[in-house]
Amino acid sequence: MSEIDPRAVVSPSAKIANCVKIGAFAVVGDEVELGEGCVVEPHAVVKGPSTFGRKNHFSSFSIVGGDPQDLTYTGQRVRLEAGDENEFREFCTVHRGTVKGGGVTRLGSHNLIMAYAHIGHDCQIGDHVILTNGAQLAGHSVVEDYAGISAFCLFHQFVRIGSHSYIGAGTIITQDVPPFSLIVGERETRCFGINKVGLERHGFSPERIRAIDKAYRYLLRSKLNTSQAVEKMRGTLADSEDVQALIRFIESTTARGLTK
């Protein structure tokens, strides 16, 4: 027996299996097929034609099965097909295919599509894929099994992501990613000095700011390594509580290292 909130909107042409839960103000559109145990949370939107296997979970405000964002789409009958136990988190979007792309967007099973992630038209997604918050797959992308895609990655259309690969956060992908690889865009994040304006706004005296600035000069602009810079701070700025706090922070830095 399924549980459908009376405030939900469910199309007469939708096919709802046993033990499906559909929350208040959710929308299940025309020609949607929900397998046994699916959960559609309040305010989620599932559009068709689309088919879903068992125990798929649609979080609030997700839109799954929407029209493709393609200028050639003019209402043709195109589909989305998904397997079992996929998790569609808040505000993610998954679009159906286009005629020119084969007409079907496909997802396998056990995939986690996190908040604000996007799967474009005609994408082909395998099993056990993680698409982290804000990652964006352009149309016709292929993602193989167990690929891990970090937050805010951007993918050019038609790229392939090989199985068991991992792509670091914020990476822009314009070429195929080979299986088993670790990919990350070049990063040049560095420290440029102290936040003088912010310190002034928070009432730091000129003397405190000068001490902090001197400590950072040891850390960033001298030829000293980090350990040597800390010792120099201890020898010349021992009276500054701010510098002592900086030293404690540096000495408790994790294995990931310190931004310099």
* One pLDDT digit (tens) per residue for the chain, 260 residues: 889 999 999 999 999 999 999 999 999 999 999 999 999 999 999 999 999 999 999 999 999 999 999 999 999 999 999 999 999 999 999 999 999 999 999 999 999 999 999 999 999 999 999 999 999 999 999 999 999 999 999 999 999 999 999 999 999 999 999 899 899 988 777 888 888 999 999 999 999 999 999 999 999 888 899 999 999 999 999 999 999 999 998 898 877 788 88
The last residue of a domain, from among 183, 205, 224: 183
Q: Are residues 146 and 212 in the same domain?
A: no
Residue 151 lies in a domain: yes
What pLDDT score does 191 carry?
Answer: 84
CATH of the domain at 216: 1.20.1180.10
104-107 and 15-16 strand pairing: unpaired
Q: Are residues 200 and 177 in the same domain?
A: no
Given a contact cutoff of 8 angstroms between Cβ atoms, the answer to whether 246 and 234 are in contact is no
Q: Domain range holding 110? A: 3-183
So which residues are the catalytic ones? Answer: 121-122, 139
Residue type, 15: K
pLDDT of res. 57: 98
Residue 256 in any domain: the answer is no
In this structure, are 245 and 174 located in the same domain?
A: no
Q: Domains in the chain: how many in total?
A: 2
Q: pLDDT value at position 138?
A: 97
Handedness of CA 156, 159, 160, 166 (dihedral sign): negative
Domain's final residue, options 133, 156, 183: 183
* 191: in domain: no
Distance (Å) of CA 156 to CA 152, 177, 224: 13, 12, 43
CATH value at residue 66: 2.160.10.10
Q: Same domain for 57 and 85?
A: yes
Q: Is residue 108 part of a domain?
A: yes
Residue 180: the pLDDT is 92
Domain endpoint, select from 183, 207, 227:
183
Which are the contacts of 24, defined by CB distance < 8 A and separation ≥ 6? 5, 7, 8, 42, 43
Q: 61 in a domain, yes or no?
A: yes
Residues 214 and 164 in one domain: no
Do 176 and 56 fall within a single domain? yes
